[in-house]
């Protein structure tokens, strides 16, 4: 019996015990929150049950994490330009954001941090170069918190550990060729589109230090013992990330970037190495969708099959854009 077949059998046998709550299963006062396609940051329903968290994928590596009346944004790249799909978040119209965790300072991870913090006074957490860039882009003074790896931050009901990670290493030739592919298949940008995209590109930094000194992995440990790790760029495993994995042990949810290489066989080993390190019960991808002119939509099925082979007990979830995923975190991992 192959590992994949065994993993599928185990998954089928355990299907009744999954902790992701589907919209049809959501009940009581949180039913609307677990069904609504309106992000909580934009005024959608607030999850009120302290025994649940809600995750909502909002394109690229953006996730909304809602817990105990708090709205956390994992990355802030929402106004992605006229040729990209809308994300559901209008930065200048957000209603509540308590903190923004930025994985690294490239534009497609932090471009909208400034308008959101100007409106909500949310804290911004990131590497020193990220916070420096955030202030230059208009984040109000005093709202930035720089982390270099090894810090632990405290929020209501949750501790957040930061670890120094490393950005993915991508070939300039591959990226340039992807840009040409879009021009060939969809036509070049109009002058207006090109100008808008150029402005968004400037809302971040391309400093070389982003690669080895400016990429942060975050781990959220809730007061019930439930653990979630989020990594917005899949680069080589660092000592900081390895130490974080040793500290946490197996996690409940891992969200890891699956993007950079357009060929799945090239990207899978990089993402899979990080997933294996944290041994999650649930895996959700990030950064796997299109950024027009830069990245293509990368199908997650080959990655999910590789995870099934390597970690037969891990459930994989392909998040739908803006659709909430509610998780029961009221029991510790060992008691499920």
Q: What does each of the 336 residues of the chain score in pLDDT, given as a tens digit? A: 444 434 433 333 333 334 454 444 444 568 799 999 999 999 999 999 999 999 999 999 999 999 999 999 999 999 999 999 999 999 999 999 999 999 999 999 999 999 999 999 999 999 999 999 999 999 999 999 999 999 999 999 999 999 999 999 888 899 899 989 999 999 999 999 999 999 999 999 999 999 999 999 999 999 999 999 999 999 999 999 999 999 999 999 999 999 989 999 999 999 999 999 999 999 999 999 999 999 999 999 999 999 999 999 999 999 999 999 999 999 654 433
Specify the pairing of strand 70-74 against strand 99-101: parallel
Token pair 């000194």 is found at: 213
Specify the pairing of strand 123-126 against strand 144-146: parallel
- Strand, coil or helix: 66: strand
Whether the pTM exceeds 0.85: the reply is: yes
Q: What is the CATH number of domain 3-328?
A: 3.60.15.10
What's the residue count for the chain? 336
List Cα–Cα distances, 211 to 58, 157, 205, 217, 260, in angstroms. Answer: 24, 32, 11, 13, 14
pLDDT at 169: 87
Domain range annotation of the chain? 3-328
pLDDT at 7: 41
Cα(275)–Cα(229) distance, rounded to whole angstroms?
10
pLDDT at 20: 53
Cα(108)–Cα(4) distance, rounded to whole angstroms?
34
SS (H, E, C) 133-195: HHHHCCCCCCCEEECCCCCEEEECCEEEEEEECCCCCCCHHHHHHHHHHHHHHHCCCCHHHHH
pLDDT at 86: 92
- Strand, coil or helix: 135: helix
CB burial of 122-156 (b: ≥16 within 10 Å; e: otherwise) equals bbbbbbebbbbbbbebebeeebbebbebeeebebe
pLDDT at 5: 36
First-to-last alpha carbon distance for the chain, in angstroms, is: 26
pLDDT at 175: 87
pLDDT at 25: 47
Residue 129 backbone dihedrals phi, psi, to 5 degrees: -70, -30
Cα(123)–Cα(144) distance, rounded to whole angstroms?
6
Q: Extract the tokens encoding 258.
A: 């699956």
**Which residues are within 8 A (CB) of 34 and not within 5 positions of it... i.e. 6 or more apart?**
21, 23, 26, 47, 54, 324, 326
pLDDT at 27: 45
Looking at residue 34, the DSSP 8-state letter turns out to be T
């Amino acid at each position: 019996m192959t590992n994949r077949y065994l993993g599928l059998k185990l998954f089928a046998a355990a299907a009744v015990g999954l902790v992701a709550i589907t919209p049809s299963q959501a009940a009581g006062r949180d039913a609307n929150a677990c069904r609504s396609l309106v992000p909580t940051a934009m005024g959608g329903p607030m999850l009120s049950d302290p025994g649940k968290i809600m995750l909502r994928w909002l394109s690229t590596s953006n996730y909304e994490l809602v817990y105990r009346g708090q709205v956390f944004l994992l990355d802030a790249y929402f106004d992605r330009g006229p040729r990209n799909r809308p994300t559901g978040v209008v930065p200048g119209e957000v209603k509540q954001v308590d903190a923004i965790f930025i994985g690294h300072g490239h534009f497609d991870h932090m471009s909208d941090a400034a308008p959101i913090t100007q409106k909500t006074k949310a804290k911004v957490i990131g590497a020193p170069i990220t916070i420096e860039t955030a202030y230059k882009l208009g984040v109000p003074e005093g709202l930035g918190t720089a982390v270099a790896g090894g810090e632990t931050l405290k929020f209501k009901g949750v501790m957040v550990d930061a670890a120094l990670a490393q950005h993915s290493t991508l070939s300039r030739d591959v990226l340039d060729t992807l840009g040409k592919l879009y021009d060939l298949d969809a036509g070049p940008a109009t002058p207006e589109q090109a100008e808008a995209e150029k402005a968004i590109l400037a809302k971040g930094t391309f400093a070389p230090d982003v690669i080895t000194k400016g990429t942060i992995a975050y781990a959220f440990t809730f007061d019930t013992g439930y653990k979630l790790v989020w990594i917005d760029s899949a680069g080589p495993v660092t000592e900081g990330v390895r130490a974080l994995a040793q500290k946490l042990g197996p996690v409940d949810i891992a969200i890891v970037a699956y993007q950079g290489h357009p060929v799945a066989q090239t990207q899978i080993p990089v993402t899979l190495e990080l997933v294996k390190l944290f041994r999650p019960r649930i895996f959700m991808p990030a950064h796997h969708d299109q950024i027009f002119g830069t990245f293509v939509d990368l199908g997650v099925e080959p990655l999910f099959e590789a995870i099934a082979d390597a970690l037969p007990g891990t459930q994989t979830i392909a998040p739908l854009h803006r659709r909430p995923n509610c998780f029961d975190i009221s029991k510790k991992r060992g008691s499920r």
